Structure 1
């Protein structure tokens, strides 16, 4: 009797393991889901600069020279617009996420604006 119970439990455990192996997302799928998609916008430098002054200068400085946050005056030299969009949207380390404060189009405009700073 005990053999049948143990065999049944083993069968259930193996079945569950197989189901989970084929239904859980892989690393690539999780990474893709966690990467925000940047909407296509045309750069409006004046609007981007106004939004940056309203939202970013407290930490990044009035000339984007840095302060509590890193300098952004040459961020386009090592990050593209999509990477900048992702950081602004999700946040990173001590930088908060801005997805609740700014629209995706505003974030994309800022990302394009900062990507040109090289």
Structure 2
């Protein structure tokens, strides 16, 4: 009797396994945390301040004429990337670039983002 009960339990487990494999359960969905939209204020660009921040923090990777070396060419970055994306890249870094959050002030980052976004 015990062998029959185990055999039936084994058959049910196999049937359940085959059923799950044939009728794929939906993939587990992960919740994606949406980042709040970044809004960069349209301030007038202080070109001297932006150039000063650029020279002291960015010139080693992006070149003295924004031509790029280790980092990408920034001479026309504003034509292909929004100022919000530029801001986010400066803050968080990525793709080999360090993040500058905490190293630069908010005003410096906003001014630099607006300055670079004007490069079209």
Contact 2:40 2:83 in 1 (8 A): no
Instruction: List structure 1 segments (4+ residues) > 2 angstroms apart after TM superposition.
Output: 37-42
**TM-score normalised by structure 1 residue count:** 0.69
- The offset of 1:39, in angstroms, is 5.0
Structure 2 unmatched ranges of 5 or more: 1-29
Which residue is equivalent to 1:3? none
Q: Deviations over 1:43-77 (max 9, x none)?
A: 11111011101110000000010001111111011
Give aligned pairs, total.
90
Larger Rg: 2
Cα distance in 2 for residues equivalent to 1:44 and 1:72: 18
**Residue aligning to 1:8:** none
Look up the match of 1:22: none
Aligned to 1:31: 34
Distance 1:38 1:99 in 2: 16
Conservation of the 8 A alpha-carbon contact between 1:52 and 1:110: yes
CA distance 1:80–1:39, shift in 2 (3 Å): closer
| TM-score, scaled to structure 2 | 0.68
What's the RMSD between the two structures over aligned residues? 1.8
Question: Following the alignment from structure 1 to structure 2, what is the Cα–Cα distance between the partners of residues 85 and 76?
Answer: 12
* Residues 1:60 and 2:45 aligned together: no
How far has the Cα of 1:93 moved from its partner? 1.4
- CA 1:69–1:53: 2 relative to 1, 3 Å: same
